[in-house]
Amino acid sequence: MLIKSRPPFASEITPREIVESRRDFMRHLAVGSVASAAVIEMAQREAFAQNSTIARLPATANPAYVLSEKKTSYKDATTYNNYYEFGTDKADPAENAGKFKSHPWTVRIEGEVKKPVTLDLDKLLKLAPIEERVYRLRCVEGWSMVIPWLGYSLSHLLKQVELTGDARYVEFTSANDPQQMPGARSRVLQWPYVEALRLDEAMHPLTLLTLGMYGELLPNQNGAPLRLMVPWKYGFKSAKAIVKIRLTKDQPRTSWNVANPAEYGFYSNVNPEVDHPRWSQASERRIGEDGFLSRKRKTLMFNGYSEVAGLYSGMDLKKLF
Ligand code: MTE
C-alpha cells in the first residue's frame, strides 16, 4: 500500500477546472471594490473548503477615524467575545458560532418609515462605500479593545427609508435561532437580543453599520453578517447579527435594561464618573496589551469620542446613565 508522506494538494483531489475557477474568483474578489452577497457566499464556501480565513472585504481607510493606539490582535478580537446567544464564556462564541449560517441574510427596516423595506446583504454591501474605521470598544465589564471595523455610517441606510415625523428612536433586533444558537436556549437574557438608540445618536456619523473587521467580512462570533458599532457607548449597545431595524415613537425596551435596570441604563454612554454596581468604570484593561497585573488605562468620557457631547447637553448623565 502506498503511504503518502504529505497531505494531497487541492489539484490532486479537485478537478482542474474547479481549482482554476476558484482562483479566478479569488482574483476577482481581490480587485473588486464592492463585494456581492453571491460572491461572498462562494468565498465563504471556498474558505471553509480550504480551512482558511473568511472572505476579504475591500474598504478604504477613513483618515478621520485612525488611532495611534496599538490595534488589538485579530486572535484576541475573535476569541474573547460577548455573544450570549452562543454562550456566556468569552471563549464560547468562537467555539460555538462557527457553523452559524450568516448568508443569505435579510434585514427588515420598518416602523415609523414611509418606505419599509427588506434588504439583502448584496444591497447593504452596495449602499455606500465601505470604510475602515479604527474604533475603541469599551465593555462595561472593564476591558477594552481597538479594532479596525469595516462599514459605513448607519445614517446612509436610515436616509433610504424616509422617516416619518414620529420617528424618535431606532430599535435593533438580533437573530434568535435556538437551533443554531445554543445560548438562546437558556434564560440568561430575554430573546431576541434588542438594543436601541435615540434617533440623533443613530444618525451620528460615528454610528457604524458594520459588515467587517481586519479587512474581512465579520466572523460569526463578532456578529456576522452585520452588527452595529457605537464607539462612545458600552459594547452591549452594539447589537450583533441584526435582522430588524425598527423606527419608533417611544423609547424601546432593551434586553440588558429589562434584565437589570439598576445596572444597565438606556443611554449607556461610557462615563468614568458613573460606576456600574459591580465594576468601576474609572479605568480599563486593554485586552492583549496589559497583563492582569499591569497598570490599567484611565477610561475617557464618551470613550474619548468627545464630539458626541452635544447630543447630551442639558442632560444629567449621572441619572440618565
Ligand atoms: N449582540 C448580541 N446579539 N448578543 C450579545 O450577547 N453582546 C454585546 C455586544 N453585542 C451581545 C451583542 C456585548 S456585552 C459586547 S461587549 C459586544 O457585543 C462585544 O463585541 P465583540 O465580541 O465583537 O467584541
Its pTM stands at 0.86
Parse the chain into domains and list their residue ranges.
56-312
Q: CA 292, CA 284: separation in Å to the nearest integer?
A: 11
**Residue 224, all three cell numbers:** 456576522
Confidence of residue 277 (pLDDT cuts 50, 70, 90): confident
* Confidence check: pLDDT of 99 > 50: yes
Ligand 1 contacts (CB < 6 A) are 81-85, 137, 139, 174, 193, 222, 235-236, 238-241
Q: Is the dihedral of CA 97, 103, 104, 106 positive or negative?
A: positive
Q: What are phi and psi of 77, to 5 degrees?
A: -65, -20
Among 163, 189, 216, 184, residue whose Cα is nearest residue 53: 216
The owner of cell 438562546 is 184
* pLDDT score of 55: 87
Mutate to test the pocket of ligand 1, among 147, 181, 240, 263 (most ligand atoms within 8 A of CB): 240
Mutate to test the pocket of ligand 1, among 238, 258, 286 (most ligand atoms within 8 A of CB): 238
Q: Which of 5-14, 105-114, 286-295 has the lowest mean pLDDT?
A: 5-14
Question: 53-66 pLDDT, tens per residue?
Answer: 568 999 999 999 99
Burial class (CB in 10 A: 0-12, 13-18, 19+), 297: middle
For the domain 56-312, what is the CATH superfamily, name and number? Oxidoreductase, molybdopterin-binding domain (3.90.420.10)
